[in-house]
């Protein structure tokens, strides 16, 4: 009997519980997601992203004084570091913005005076600095690709409003800021997903926080994970370019039939954990609807609904968060390749909360494999 046959293989670690966490709870049965016990929908409706970041890091919502302190530190750390800017400027605009993000996280780490200090106190300070610094990188990278110069941060704006300000050089309308904030909160944390697990694996070797986040950004880039929000827009473009007459639902169905016949994965649909729908979708979809109204783009609503219903009929597979998030960012004016870096900016909070939790009770993460290569053989 081969080694593989003797041992049970958990391909993709599906269904394997590798550790406990107090940060978030994903319940596919009740379609719920709790951050430190609070339903994410309530947080998205009633709290700022800054409060949610504090909650993820500290376990409790901040008092007004604690929030003021966090906000002041975030606002003080927003400027684009000239060295990071120089490195970004050296990168070709053919590089994917996620490569820029990953490189920037690494550079920020190499320049942080506390890089080698992994105490909780130092990690909290580093997490906050990296979280505060990333919007300027994402915004500047998009601007340089458009031939535009960097926009200085505004200390009078909150995280979300300032992010949009730095990206577009104009103040966004209140409902746009709100939709962006909702997306940041929904993207912030989701238990042991691939990128978070990557961060925990790296942390388990006692490597530093920035190494763990840099690795997590690499994991998030893939289209089966964070890259799906960008891929959704490519799907929409393909459907619009496809034949099938003016009726979008006919076009979406014929595009889908063709894609499924070619064994393509439909981006923005399906989930490893949720099998009856993603708990975050209704909240993000409500924000997308507001943006559709704000920008007067009913055609996008039709396209969204057409593909969703065609996919429901063909495979009974439901949308995940990336499905409404992609078109929301598109409407706001972000370039499609910038969508996943927006996810990075948000998820830095969840990743770093997990890095600190991993260190509290660390055990090197080192699974086993079942060997099924050639039997022992010799060179002569």
| Residues labelled as active-site residues | 225, 271, 322
Q: Return the range that interacts with ligand COA (CB under 6 A); candidates 68-76, 105-113, 221-229, 282-290.
A: 221-229
φ, ψ dihedrals at 201, nearest 5°: -60, -50
Q: Please give the Cα distance from 210 to 271 (Å, whole number).
A: 28
Alpha-carbon distance 266 to 259, whole Å? 8
Enter the tokens of residue 32.
């719920």
Reported in sequence order, the residue ranges of 195-239 that DSSP labels E, i.e. its strands, are none
Question: What is the Rg, in whole angstroms, of the alpha carbon atoms belonging to the chain?
Answer: 21
C-alpha span between 190 and 209 (Å, rounded): 19
Site for ligand COA in 239-298 (CB under 6 A): 265-272
Q: With respect to ligand COA, which residue has the nearer C-beta, 266 or 353?
A: 266
The CB-of-273 to ligand COA minimum distance in angstroms stands at 8
Could you tell me the smallest distance in angstroms from the CB atom of residue 190 to ligand COA? 8
Q: How far is the CB of 326 from ligand COA (least distance, A)?
A: 10
Residue number, 215 or 319, with CB nearest to ligand COA: 319
Q: How far is the CB of 289 from ligand COA (least distance, A)?
A: 20
Candidate list 228, 252, 284, 348; residue touching ligand COA; CB under 6 A: 228
User: In 179-314, at which residue ranges do the beta strands (DSSP E only) sit?
Assistant: none
Cα maximum dimension of the chain: 75
Q: Which lies closer to ligand COA via its Cβ, residue 31 or residue 115?
A: 31
216 vs 267, beta carbon nearer ligand COA: 267
How far out from the chain centre does Cα 213 lie?
12
β-bridge pairing 38-39 and 32-35: antiparallel
CA distance linking residue 104 with residue 133, whole number of Å: 9
Write down how long the chain is.
380
**x-marked contacts with ligand COA along 171-210 as a string, rule CB under 6 A:** ----------------------------------------
309 binds ligand COA (CB under 6 A): no
Nearer to ligand COA, 23 or 267 (CB): 267
Interface segment toward ligand COA; rule CB under 6 A; list 109-117, 169-177, 293-301, 317-325: 317-325
Count residues near ligand COA (CB under 6 A).
15
- Residue 310 binding ligand COA, by CB under 6 A: no
- Cα four-point dihedral sign 126, 128, 133, 135: positive
Q: Is 9 in the site for ligand COA (CB under 6 A)?
A: no
Q: By the 8 A CB rule, do 310 and 249 touch? A: yes
326 binds ligand COA (CB under 6 A): no
Considering only the stretches 176-184, 200-208, 223-231, 331-339, report the one whose residues sit in contact with ligand COA under the rule CB under 6 A: 223-231
Restricted to residues 77-96, the positions that interact with ligand COA (CB under 6 A) are none
Q: With CB under 6 A as the contact rule, which of the stretches 51-59, 144-152, 249-257, 315-323 interacts with ligand COA?
A: 315-323
State the Cα angle at 71 between 69 and 73, rounded to 5°: 70
Partner residues linked to 269 by β-bridges: 319
Per DSSP, the chain holds a count of helices (H) and strands (E) of 17, 3
Q: Of 160 and 320, which CB lies nearer to ligand COA in the complex structure?
A: 320
CB atoms closer than 10 angstroms to residue 27: 12
**110 versus 224: smaller Cβ distance to ligand COA:** 224
321: helix, coil or strand? coil
The residues that touch ligand COA, with contacts defined as CB under 6 A, are 224-225, 228, 265-272, 315, 317, 320, 322
């Amino acid at each position: 009997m081969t080694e593989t046959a003797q041992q049970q293989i958990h391909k993709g670690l599906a269904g394997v519980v590798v550790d406990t966490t107090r940060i978030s709870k994903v319940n596919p049965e009740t379609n719920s997601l709790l951050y430190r016990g609070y339903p994410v929908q309530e947080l998205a409706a009633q709290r700022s992203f800054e409060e949610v970041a504090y909650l993820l890091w500290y376990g409790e919502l901040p008092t007004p004084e604690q929030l003021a302190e966090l906000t002041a530190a975030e606002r003080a750390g927003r400027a684009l570091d000239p060295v990071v800017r120089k490195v970004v400027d050296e990168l070709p605009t053919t590089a994917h913005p996620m490569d820029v993000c990953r490189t920037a996280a690494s550079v920020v780490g190499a320049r942080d005076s506390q890089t080698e200090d992994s105490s909780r106190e130092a990690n909290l300070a580093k997490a906050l600095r990296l979280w505060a610094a990333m919007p300027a990188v994402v915004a500047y990278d998009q601007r340089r690709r458009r031939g535009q110069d960097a926009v200085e941060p505004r200390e009078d704006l909150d995280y979300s409003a300032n992010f949009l300000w730095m990206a577009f050089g104009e103040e966004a309308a209140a409902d746009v800021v709100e939709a962006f904030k909702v997306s940041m909160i929904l993207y912030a944390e989701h238990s042991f997903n691939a990128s978070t697990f990557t961060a925990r694996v790296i942390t388990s070797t006692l490597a530093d926080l920035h190494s763990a986040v840099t690795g997590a950004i690499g994991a998030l880039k893939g289209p089966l994970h964070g890259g799906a929000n960008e891929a959704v827009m490519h799907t929409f473009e393909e459907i619009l370019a496809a034949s099938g007459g003016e009726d979008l639902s006919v076009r979406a169905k014929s595009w889908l039939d063709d894609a499924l016949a070619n064994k393509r994965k439909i981006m923005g649909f399906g989930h490893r954990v949720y099998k009856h729908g993603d708990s975050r979708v209704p909240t993000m979809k409500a924000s997308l609807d507001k943006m559709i109204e704000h920008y007067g783009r009913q055609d996008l609503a039709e396209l969204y609904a057409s593909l969703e219903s065609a996919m429901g009929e063909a495979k009974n597979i439901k949308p995940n968060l990336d499905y409404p998030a992609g078109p929301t960012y598109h409407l706001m004016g972000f370039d499609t390749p910038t969508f996943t870096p927006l996810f990075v900016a948000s998820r830095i909070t969840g990743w770093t909360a997990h890095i600190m939790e991993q260190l509290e009770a660390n055990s090197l993460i080192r699974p086993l494999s079942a060997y099924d290569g050639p039997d022992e053989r010799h060179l002569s």
